[in-house]
Each structure stands twice: as structure tokens, then as C-alpha cells.
Amino acid sequence: MHPEFWHQRWQEGRIGFHQERITPLLERHWDGVGAAPGSRVFVPLAGKSLDMAWLAARGHRVLGVELSRLAVEGFFEEHGLVPERRESRYGIHYGAGDIELICGDAFGLDADLLAGCEAVFDRAALIALPEDLRRPYLGELYARLPAGCRGLLVTLEYPPHEKEGPPFPVAEAEVRAGLERDWRVDVLERRDILDREPRFAEEGVTALATVAYALQRLPAPEG
């Protein structure tokens, strides 16, 4: 997906991927991930997700990245926050309280910026990307997170020939192939949700599941 695709979706208000509630799997499994209180949580392709406010309310410091200025500014406006702004090589930083959003490209973030992120929450990033972008996303961006980083990854699974993404289906085998060299990957829950997603059924999808994974970045190999 080219950046123009997402800019157009936000400009036209076609943001069916935006949830008007906290992600249930986040509420159910975040404590089990083991992210330390006060830790900085990286939220890629953040949009204006309510999950960021939930994480901040739990005492975390949130670092999100999002391409769309409309989404970034919309988040702060909808939460009654007036952010301070600054520019860096990563994009335009908006910050208020314990939440900082970078209006920029997630693929442009480096290990220097992400070194302080002790946790990651990915609900709408991996599944927003086609396969040719998911490989470098997992192999490169996740590789820039520090050793010991813990995370919660949420994906969708459905027969790929039945619907054109996004959101795209991501099989467990793909998650493991992309991460297991550097991360411990544990399935926390796989749940059938087709009866709660009529849009998918209307498009002809016959099976739909959501999957939550707990992640932990392994120490770098010695030598």
C-alpha cells in the first residue's frame, strides 16, 4: 500500500479500520504480556486509536507513528489535548502528557529512536500491509526494537482468496517465519469472530478468526 492510499482513506473518511472502543484483546491480555509499569510502548501505524489513551491511562508512555496528519491531529483533538510540536528526521512529533505521535513513515524509524521502547502493541499495522511489505516490516522494523522488548500482536485469519485486503489475513506460520529468529512467539488466543463482523460475511468470507500473540525480544547472540 502506497502512502497515498492511506492519505486518501483518511481524507475521505473511509476509516472502517478505526475502532470506537478499546481493543478487547488488549484489555484481556495486556497484563499477561508483562510490560513493566511506566514502560514506553511503541504503537506502529497508530491512526487515532483509543488504545493509546488506554495504555497511557495504565501508566505507560506511548510512542505512536502514523502517516496521516489528519489522524494524528484528530487523536489529540478528540481527547481534548493540545500537543506540542517539533520536527526531526523522523517526521513531525506531536506530544501531550504521556503520548507522543510521530507523523511520519514507520519504516523510517531506527534503532536509536526505538531503543527506549520496552513494549510494542500492534493491532492494525501488520494486517494493514500486503505480503511484500509485511516481510520487511517484521524483519526490519521489529528488529530495531531492543532486546527484552515485550509485545502484543493481533492478527486476522481468513481464506485469502475470499477477500481483497486491507485488512489482510496473516497466518501463524507467517508470523513465526518473520519473527522467531529474534522473538519468542506465543499464541494467547484464537477466536472465531465472523458472527461479529458482518462486513466480512457480506464480502463472501466464510471463516474469520482473530489471533493474539505474546512477543518477547530475545537477547542478541553472543559473538
Contact 76, 83 (CB under 8 A): yes
Known binding residue 123? Answer is yes
Residue 172 among known ligand-binding residues: no
8 A C-beta contact, residue 214 and residue 54: no
Rounded to an integer, what distance in angstroms lies between the CA atom of residue 125 and that of residue 134?
Answer: 9
Give the 3-state secondary structure of residue 199.
helix
Check whether 69 is labelled as a binding-site residue. no
Query: Is there a contact between 71 and 33 (Cβ–Cβ < 8 Å)?
Result: no
Other C-beta atoms closer than 10 Å to the C-beta of 141 total 21
Residue 210's alpha-carbon distances to 71, 119, 207, in angstroms, are 24, 21, 10
Is 45 annotated among the ligand-binding residues?
Answer: yes
Binding site residues, as ranges?
A: 10, 45, 66, 123
In the annotated binding site for S-adenosyl-L-methionine, the residues are: 10, 45, 66, 123
